[in-house]
Amino acid sequence: MKPIRKLAFVVNEEKAGASTLARELIAVARRAGVKLKRTSRFRLPTGWLRGWDACCVIGGDGTLLGVARESARAQVPIIGVNRGSLGFLTTFSADEARAQFAALLGGAFRVEHRAMLDCSTGPGDHDLALNDVLIKDEINSRLVHLEVVADGELVTDYTCDGLIFSTPTGSTAYNLSAGGPLLHPTAPVIAMTPICPHTLSNRSIIFRDHVRLRVFNRSAESRLLVAMDGQRNLKVGTRSPVAITIAKLRLPLAQRLDHSHFAVVREKLKWSGGFAEKRG
């Protein structure tokens, strides 16, 4: 990749060690003559990344999710440095960032373009999600009756606690916790996973990436909550369907040149991988 000459930092100062690490990486960038700016806000204002070469996010996956929409709109790659817990998205550890930052600034990284979901709940109510769209009753303890239609064809209806629509990137998040499948991040699909369905045969369904999904609320006394990446909610009219498609925009995510998705999964999910380790 081209060298980074203009670098924005987004630092979650609530994460232990994030501020100290940011100062170290900023010092490296200054010595390299890179133009810098920094914020601790990770719901970025519209246009904040426009014209910058990259954005270094220091925090957890939630911090990165707060930057993802603006990164996708500006097509500015995110360099995610993990100071949270699992860190499926923020794939650089603090030690890796310290050791490799000068090389990263010189262009020693590759960019993966990750699919995002486009969700609409009515005119003017529209948002993007990198991980998932959750549809549930706005009261946590209440079951909801949802009908799912794909490209105009009825799929099925669910009585459940909710539905998770996940990108491949988000398959390791809420989808995984709810019993959904792990998907390779470049797979051209959407996963739909019901939460605690009242029919045991109802399992996850995998749709092709250019499907047009609509979800209808068939619960007479319920109002729906639609959560985008667990961070933002959309309003839903009583008669409006929730429409979900793959977004036209994709998130540019910077990765190490030797990045391995399955190595990350093995590490984060603590798979034994006995044969793989012995072969190495």
Show which residues are catalytic: 61
At 277, which amino acid appears?
E
Do residues 165 and 204 touch, judged by C-beta distance below 8 A? Answer: no
* ∠ Cα 253 12 14 (to 5°): 150
Cα 143 to the center of its chain, rounded Å: 26
Supply the Cα-derived Rg of the chain in whole angstroms. Answer: 20
Residue 274, both tokens = 């006995």
At 153, which amino acid appears?
E
Q: How far apart are CA 42 and CA 235, in angstroms?
A: 22
Helices (H), the chain: 18-31, 61-74, 94-105, 174-177, 261-268, 274-279
